[in-house]
Amino acid sequence: MKKSRESDGKRIKRLLALHQLLRSGKQFSTEALQEAYAEKTGESLEKKTLQNDLRFMRLELFAPLPEKANKHTGYFYNGSFSILEALDDSYFGSLNEALALLRQMAKSKEFIGLEDILLRLEQRVSATDAEKNSFIQFQEQALKGKERLGSLHQFILKKQFLQIDYHPFNTDGYIRHVYPLLLKEYNNRWFLIAWEKDKHTPQNLAIDRIEGVRETYEDFVFNRQFDVNKLFENLIGVTPEGTFGAVKLRFSPGRFPFVQTKKMHSSQQEVAEHTIEIQVYTNRELRAKILEFGADVEVIEPKILRDEITEILQKAAGNYATGSDVQT
């Protein structure tokens, strides 16, 4: 009987965790590999399951692994091995489906340290025909600069200061001296989150605006204790601006069920009829998200955000005022 997709997802998760350990160059006994896996993922791995996974990697994915470990030789990769190629050819299906599964895992603790696999899969999917017969589809964008994801991720791992040639829209390019922290996707666009020289908060650099990247040994002082992941827990999007607090929104009866099933933010709570409250920063992405709902939403609180949205809508309505001379 065919394994369920949930079962496939769990096994891929295990295989990726084992892959990260085995590619480290260290040799593991069966017991040592079980201990390392538990330490890495916080989950125990039964000996029989481990042996089955290693056998599958060796026989089905063609990983260069010894048949068994002994007192002289442990489990390790004794040759080059691309798990991307292996997943592409395995029963798990196309790269497109493997990527969809990985994306679902991206927020779990077991995924920590495997970001490079996701990034390279992102690149590979955009350049392959493997998804033609896939049963999972998602929107892919031909994003300029996407090929930089792998190298930028390596700079983050190396904790390397960078000089970046950055070209914003409608202005001249300039050099940005940064310390990279995180790669983040939002709204089908990738961003590099980084500390920047002479800035007091992390900055976001759109990948499609980066024209060149150079390593530099010229450093600068920044808050090394800052938890960038915690920052994004309170953000919609990638821009750390505005004030943090409760945002209360009331929706039309017809739109409210969609907001209930596709939450705007993890903090979302229903506080009154057709009304939600979220705890976020009032940044540009929040304003854009609210405007997407058009007449189906009303900002109740905070007042400053309500006034901002009112002003934007009034300006938009002015574009359609009677008498406007628009050529079609």
- Residues forming beta bridges with residue 301, ordered by sequence position: 248
pLDDT tens readout for residues 49-75? 999 999 988 888 888 898 888 777 889
pLDDT reported for residue 81:
78
pLDDT reported for residue 274:
96
Residue 310 above 80 pLDDT?
yes
Instruction: Tell me the pLDDT band of 215, cut-offs 50, 70 and 90.
Output: very high
pLDDT reported for residue 67:
86
Do the Cβ atoms of 16 and 37 come closer than 8 Å?
Answer: no
Residue 4 above 50 pLDDT?
no
pLDDT reported for residue 314:
94
The CA radius of gyration of the chain, in Å to the nearest whole number, is: 24
Average pLDDT, the chain: 81
Residue 254 above 80 pLDDT?
yes
Residue 5: what residue type?
A: R
**Mutual angle of helices 5-22 and 30-41, in 10-degree steps:** 110
- CATH code that applies to domain 146-232: 2.30.30
d(CA 136, CA 130): 12
Tell the residue number behind the tokens 């949205």, with chain if given. Answer: 309
- The candidate with the shortest Cα–Cα distance to 31, out of 72, 67, 70, is 70
Residue 293 above 80 pLDDT?
yes
Mean pLDDT, rounded, for 115-137: 52
- The candidate with the shortest Cα–Cα distance to 27, out of 68, 75, 65, 81, is 75
Residue 10 above 90 pLDDT?
no
pLDDT reported for residue 6:
42
Tell the residue number behind the tokens 């990279």, with chain if given. Answer: 180
Residue 1 above 60 pLDDT?
no
Instruction: Tell me the pLDDT band of 306, cut-offs 50, 70 and 90.
Output: very high
Mean pLDDT, rounded, for 88-103: 54
Phi, psi for residue 10 in degrees, rounded to 5: -65, -40
d(CA 18, CA 52): 12
d(CA 142, CA 83): 24
Q: Write the DSSP symbol of residue 24.
A: T
Task: Give the range among 155-164, 185-194, 199-208, 272-281 with minimum mean pLDDT.
Answer: 185-194
Instruction: Tell me the pLDDT band of 98, cut-offs 50, 70 and 90.
Output: low
Instruction: Tell me the pLDDT band of 26, cut-offs 50, 70 and 90.
Output: confident
- The candidate with the shortest Cα–Cα distance to 275, out of 294, 296, 291, is 296
d(CA 92, CA 240): 39
Instruction: Tell me the pLDDT band of 145, cut-offs 50, 70 and 90.
Output: confident
Residue 126 above 70 pLDDT?
no
Distance from the Cα of residue 268 to its chain's centroid: 20
Mean pLDDT, rounded, for 172-194: 90
Do the Cβ atoms of 17 and 110 come closer than 8 Å?
Answer: yes
- The candidate with the shortest Cα–Cα distance to 157, out of 114, 208, 110, is 114
Residue 110 above 50 pLDDT?
no
Residues 6+ apart with CB under 8 A from 260: 270
C-alpha angle 231-233-237 in degrees, rounded to nearest 5: 85
Domain ranges of the chain: 5-131, 146-232, 244-317
Do the Cβ atoms of 167 and 211 come closer than 8 Å?
Answer: yes
